[in-house]
Amino acid sequence: MSESRKLIMSFNNNDEVIDAYMLYQKAFNAKKIPERTFTNSGEIYVMIDTGDEILLKPSGDVGVEYIDLRDVVHEVQFNNKNDFYSAYDAIREEAQDYSLECFDSRVSRSVFITDKFGFRWKLSITVE
């Protein structure tokens, strides 16, 4: 991840932070970064790595140095069809909305999906 791009996801409470971590771990095999995961004033902050480092935290001030993923579509690219469908199935389980697929010149398949927390994802399989 580039140092200039700091991503954040804000949730309503600690329970949602933990639930989101478990969902993203299942969907993207997200790894918790222990040295950047902490509790502050009873609030849980979890830093995960999905290819990009993303801070999961309870709601509140995001800070100008962060990009709030609630405001953008976050793309995750896959090279493996099984990983793509595993992520799709995990996120789709309680998704708010999703499109089945689209095709473009850069990828063989893309899915736009809004997870149960309202975050929008573009999951893509690269052309082999």
pLDDT tens per residue, range 70-83: 888 998 988 888 99
**Residues 41, 78 within the same domain:** no
**Residues 81, 67 within the same domain:** no
What is the SS3 assignment for 8?
strand
**pLDDT for 128 beyond 70:** no
**Residues 80, 24 within the same domain:** no
**Residues 115, 82 within the same domain:** yes
First to last CA, the chain: 24
**pLDDT for 114 beyond 90:** yes
Count of domains for the chain: 2
**Alpha carbons within 13 A on the beta-carbon side of 41:** 4
**Residues 89, 61 within the same domain:** no
**Residues 53, 80 within the same domain:** no
**pTM score, two decimals?**
0.82
Residues constituting the chain: 128
**Residues 125, 84 within the same domain:** yes
**Residues 78, 66 within the same domain:** no
Highest mean pLDDT among 22-36, 38-52, 92-106: 22-36
What pLDDT is stored for residue 24 in this prediction?
A: 94
* DSSP helix, strand, coil percent of the chain (3-state; round to 5): 25, 40, 35
- The whole domain housing 80 covers 73-128
* Residue 77 β-bridge partners: 124
**pLDDT for 92 beyond 90:** yes
**Residues 78, 127 within the same domain:** yes
**Residues 50, 112 within the same domain:** no
Q: Which residue has the higher pLDDT, 6 or 87?
A: 87
